[in-house]
Amino acid sequence: MDKDFHKTFDSCPNCDSTLRFCEELGKELKDRGLARAEWNMRYDSRQGIVADQNRTILIPIGSHLPGFSIVTDVCMDCGTMYAVELRRLEGETHAAPMKKMPYDPHNIRGN
């Protein structure tokens, strides 16, 4: 896949409507001055890297893996939920955060 893959969908794939529920709600906020002009409300936005969870232990920290961004909204005419934007990203693996143990003042060495 092309590393610069980015596609937007301007209309519902089911009925060809251009009215999207969350986008219209966001326009109301913009009209009232409660949101930035460049901001767009969407139903859902997800992003992440693609990785086989059974193999992630073998992937070195700092590795670059293919990633994705998927933005969805809902058609106001027929109710179909569909992708408004698809994008391929490049993600970098990081070390998992260390778990902190709860503090127990009675379990300190030397006491």
Q: List, for residues 33-64, the tens digit of each pLDDT value.
A: 999 999 989 999 999 888 787 877 777 888 88
Whether residue 111 lies inside any domain: the answer is: no
pLDDT of residue 104: 62
Alpha carbons within 13 A on the beta-carbon side of 35: 14
Q: 30, 60 in Cβ contact below 8 A?
A: no
Looking up tokens 């409300």 gives: 41
**Residues 14, 72: Cα–Cα separation, whole Å:** 14
Q: Going by C-beta distance under 8 Å and a sequence separation of 6 or more, which residues neighbour residue 17?
A: 11, 75, 76, 77, 78
**Residues 104, 3: Cα–Cα separation, whole Å:** 49
Whether residue 105 lies inside any domain: the answer is: no
- Name the domain count of the chain: 1
Distances, alpha carbon 108 to alpha carbons 65, 103, 104, in Å: 42, 9, 7
Over residues 72-80, the mean pLDDT reads 98
Whether residue 35 lies inside any domain: the answer is: yes
What is the domain extent for residue 36? 6-94
